Structure 1
Amino acid sequence: MSFEVLEKLESKIQAAVDTISLLQMELDELKEQNGQLAQENQQLKQDHDAWQDRLRVLLGKIDQVEESA
């Protein structure tokens, strides 16, 4: 093999290594975002459940008022 071919191969390998490194960093960022979104989603589900409970209580009170009237 000539020296030029080896240089081209080295350049391509370095480009591949750089691309892999960038993709790994992007993957790490996406994993972190996913974790944050999962926590936010859990919080929203808890808030939703709390609102549903409050609505049930209020509807129960309305039913009690209607029944006593």
Structure 2
Amino acid sequence: MTFELLEKLENKINQAVETIALLQMEIEELKEDKANLSGKTEQLQSDNDRLNEEHQQWQDRLSALVGKIEQAEENAE
């Protein structure tokens, strides 16, 4: 009876060790994924900042042009 209990315990320990090893591999993969996503996030934030700046520049230029058109219309009257 004691031998059977030891075998069952050994099997459970082996299963636990295998499960731990698999979980550790998953953790490493998740860490790599996180690092990749962090890099992509930084790149996207940089792109977003640049595009917002370009958008503001275009708005400023368009406002200036509209102002010139309005001024020209006033002068034409």
Q: Which amino acid aligns with 2:45?
A: A
Amino acid at match of 1:66: E
Runs of 4+ in 1 over 6 A off after TM superposition: none
The Cα of 1:5 is off from its aligned counterpart by 1.6
- CA deviations on 1:43-65 (whole Å, 9 max, x unpaired) are 00000000001001100110111
Counterpart in the other structure of 1:66: 73
Unaligned segments of structure 2, at least 5 residues: 1-5
Which has the higher Rg, Structure 1 or Structure 2? 2
Note the 1:24-35 alignment, pairs <5 A: 24-35=31-42
TM-score, reference length from structure 2 = 0.85
Partner of 1:43: 50
In the other structure, the counterpart of 2:64 is 57
SS across alignment from 1:39 = helix
Higher mean C-alpha deviation, range 13-22 or range 1-10: 1-10
Is 1:13 the equivalent of 2:20? yes
Q: How many residues align?
A: 69
CA RMSD of aligned residues (A): 0.9
Residue identity over aligned pairs, in percent, reads: 32
**Separation (CA, whole Å) in 1 of partners of 2:69 and 2:22:** 69
Please, what TM-score do these two structures have when normalized by structure 1? 0.94
